[in-house]
C-alpha cells in the first residue's frame, strides 16, 4: 500500500536524493593512479548493476514472482530507454571537454529538466488538462523557471571558470561549435531516463500488488539501470582497449588498490541513492507525478551550486559574477517553491 499524496514530504525525499547526487563525485579525488574509464566502470557496476538488485531484493516482496508476472514489453522498453540514457551520459562527458563543466551541466540539465518533464504529458495528450487543473500552471511555471535558473547558473559558472583560471582558459580545448551540438544531444538523451522510468511503471504496479508499497519503483531500476550499464560497459571497454589500461583493475601503480575500489563503489552508492530517494518522493507527488523529474533536477543544481558557495569556490570571483550566482540560487528556490506549491494544491485534502 502506498502513502497518501504528500508533495511536501515528496519534495523532501527528492532533496535527499539530489543531495546524494550532488556529492557523488567527491570520492573521485581519492582514487589514485587509475584512468577515468577504470574508475567509471567500477562505480557504474556498483550503481547500475549490483545495487539495484540488492535494494530490490530487500524491498520488493516476492521479487521472483513479480518479475515472472510483469509484462515483458514494459521491462524491455525500460531497458532500451535506459541504454539510450547511457549514450546521453557519454555525450555529457565529451561535452565537458569542449564547453567546461558549468556550461555543460547547465545546458544538459536544463534541457533534460524541460523535456523529461513536459514531453510525457504532451505525448499522453494531458498537458492541456494539467494546465487547467488546480496547481497545474504553478507546476509548468516552476519547470520553465527552473530551466531558466539553471542556464543562469551555467553562465555564472562559466564566468567563474574564466575568472579563476585565465591561463587554463587560454590553453583549453573550449570549442562551442563542437561542444554545443554534443551537449544538446546529452540533454535530450538524458531526458530519456524519465521515459525509461515511466515505461517500467507496469512492472512497479505488479510489485505494488505484492506489497511493495512506496518502494515499488525499485523494481524498475533493474531494467532502466541495466540498460544504462550496457552502454557504459561498451564505451569503457573501448577506452580500456584503446589505452591498454586493463591492468589497472589489479594494480593501482603504488596506490592502495582496495581504497580505489572502495571510493569508486562509494561514488556508485551515492549515485544510486538519488534514484532510491527519487522513487520515495515520486510516489508521494500526487496528481502531478510527472513533475518529479523537474523537482529532482532543479534541486540537484541548487544544491551543487550551494555546496560550491559554502566551500568558498566563488570567493575570488568578480562582484557581478557573485550577483549572477546569487540571483540564480534565488530563482532555483522560487522554482522549487512553485513546483511544490502546485503539487500541494492538486493533492486531495487529508481524510
Collect all residues with Cβ–Cβ distance below 8 Å to 189 and sequence separation of at least 6: 84, 85, 87, 88, 91
Helix axes 257-282, 36-44, angle to 10 degrees: 50
pLDDT tens per residue across span 195-204: 899 899 999 9
Q: How many CA atoms lie within 13 A of 81 on its CB side?
A: 24
Widest Cα–Cα separation across the chain? 63
What pLDDT score does 67 carry? 97
User: Which of 135, 148, 118, 132 shows the shortest CA–CA distance to 334?
Assistant: 148
**Is the model more confident about 309 or about 330?**
330
Average pLDDT over residues 23-44: 90
Q: What is the pLDDT of residue 46?
A: 96
What whole-number percentage of the chain has pLDDT above 70? 94
DSSP state of 348: P
Binned at pLDDT 50, 70 and 90, residue 163 comes out as: confident
Chain-centroid distance of CA 344 in Å reads 23
Query: What's the pTM?
Result: 0.82
Residue 88 pLDDT level (bands cut at 50, 70, 90): confident
- Single out the residue of 210, 221, 350 nearest to residue 282, CA to CA: 221
Asked if the model's pLDDT at residue 335 lies above 80, the reply is yes
Residue 34 DSSP label: -
Residue 44 φ/ψ, nearest 5 degrees: -65, -40
Grid cell listed for 35: 584512468
Predicted local confidence at residue 234, as pLDDT: 95
**Can you state the angle between helices 7-23 and 257-282, rounded to 10 degrees?**
160
For residue 285, give the H/E element and its range: none
Residue scoring higher pLDDT (52 or 114)? 52
Question: In this predicted model, what pLDDT tens digit does every residue of 54-72 receive, in sequence order?
Answer: 999 999 999 999 999 999 9
Cell numbers of 222, please? 533493474
> How far apart are the C-alpha atoms of 7 and 315, rounded to whole Å?
36
For the chain, domain boundaries: 7-346
Contact 288, 6 (CB under 8 A): no
% the chain with pLDDT above 90: 42
Region 216-237: mean pLDDT is 95
Instruction: Give the pLDDT of residue 349.
Output: 60
Which of 55-64, 121-130, 244-253 has the largest mean confidence?
55-64
Query: In the structure, what pLDDT confidence band is assigned to residue 171 with cuts at 50, 70 and 90?
Result: very low
Quick: pLDDT tens for 134-148: 788 888 899 889 889
Amino acid at each position: 500500500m502506498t502513502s497518501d499524496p504528500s508533495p511536501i514530504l515528496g519534495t523532501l525525499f527528492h532533496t535527499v536524493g539530489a543531495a546524494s547526487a550532488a556529492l557523488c563525485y567527491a570520492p573521485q579525488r581519492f582514487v589514485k593512479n587509475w584512468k577515468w574509464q577504470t574508475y567509471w566502470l567500477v562505480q557504474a557496476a556498483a550503481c547500475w548493476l549490483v545495487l539495484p538488485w540488492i535494494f530490490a531484493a530487500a524491498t520488493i516482496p516476492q521479487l521472483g514472482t513479480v518479475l515472472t508476472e510483469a509484462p515483458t514489453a514494459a521491462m524491455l522498453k525500460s531497458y532500451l530507454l535506459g541504454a539510450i540514457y547511457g549514450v546521453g551520459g557519454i555525450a555529457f562527458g565529451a561535452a565537458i571537454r569542449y564547453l567546461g563543466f558549468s556550461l555543460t551541466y547547465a545546458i544538459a540539465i536544463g534541457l533534460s529538466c524541460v523535456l523529461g518533464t513536459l514531453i510525457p504529458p504532451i505525448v499522453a495528450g494531458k498537458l492541456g488538462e494539467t494546465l487547467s487543473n488546480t496547481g497545474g500552471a504553478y507546476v509548468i511555471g516552476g519547470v520553465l523557471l527552473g530551466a531558466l535558473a539553471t542556464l543562469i547558473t551555467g553562465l555564472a559558472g562559466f564566468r567563474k571558470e574564466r575568472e579563476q583560471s585565465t591561463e587554463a582558459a587560454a590553453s583549453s580545448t573550449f570549442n562551442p561549435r563542437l561542444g554545443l551540438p554534443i551537449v544538446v544531444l546529452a540533454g535530450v538523451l538524458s531526458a530519456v531516463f524519465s521515459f525509461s522510468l515511466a515505461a517500467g511503471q507496469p512492472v512497479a504496479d505488479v510489485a505494488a500488488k505484492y506489497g511493495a508499497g512506496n518502494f515499488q519503483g525499485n523494481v524498475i531500476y533493474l531494467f532502466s539501470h541495466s540498460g544504462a550499464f550496457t552502454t557504459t560497459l561498451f564505451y569503457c571497454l573501448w577506452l580500456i582497449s584503446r589505452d591498454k589500461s586493463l591492468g589497472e583493475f589489479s594494480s593501482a601503480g603504488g596506490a592502495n588498490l582496495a581504497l580505489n575500489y572502495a571510493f569508486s563503489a562509494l561514488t556508485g552508492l551515492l549515485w544510486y541513492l538519488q534514484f532510491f530517494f527519487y522513487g520515495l518522493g515520486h510516489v508521494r507527488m500526487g496528481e502531478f507525478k510527472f513533475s518529479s523529474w523537474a523537482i529532482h533536477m532543479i534541486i540537484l543544481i541548487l544544491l551543487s551550486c550551494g555546496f560550491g558557495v559554502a566551500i568558498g569556490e566563488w570567493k575570488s570571483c568578480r562582484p557581478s559574477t557573485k550577483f549572477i550566482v546569487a540571483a540564480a540560487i534565488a530563482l532555483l528556490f522560487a522554482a522549487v517553491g512553485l513546483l511544490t506549491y502546485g503539487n500541494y494544491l492538486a493533492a486531495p485534502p487529508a481524510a
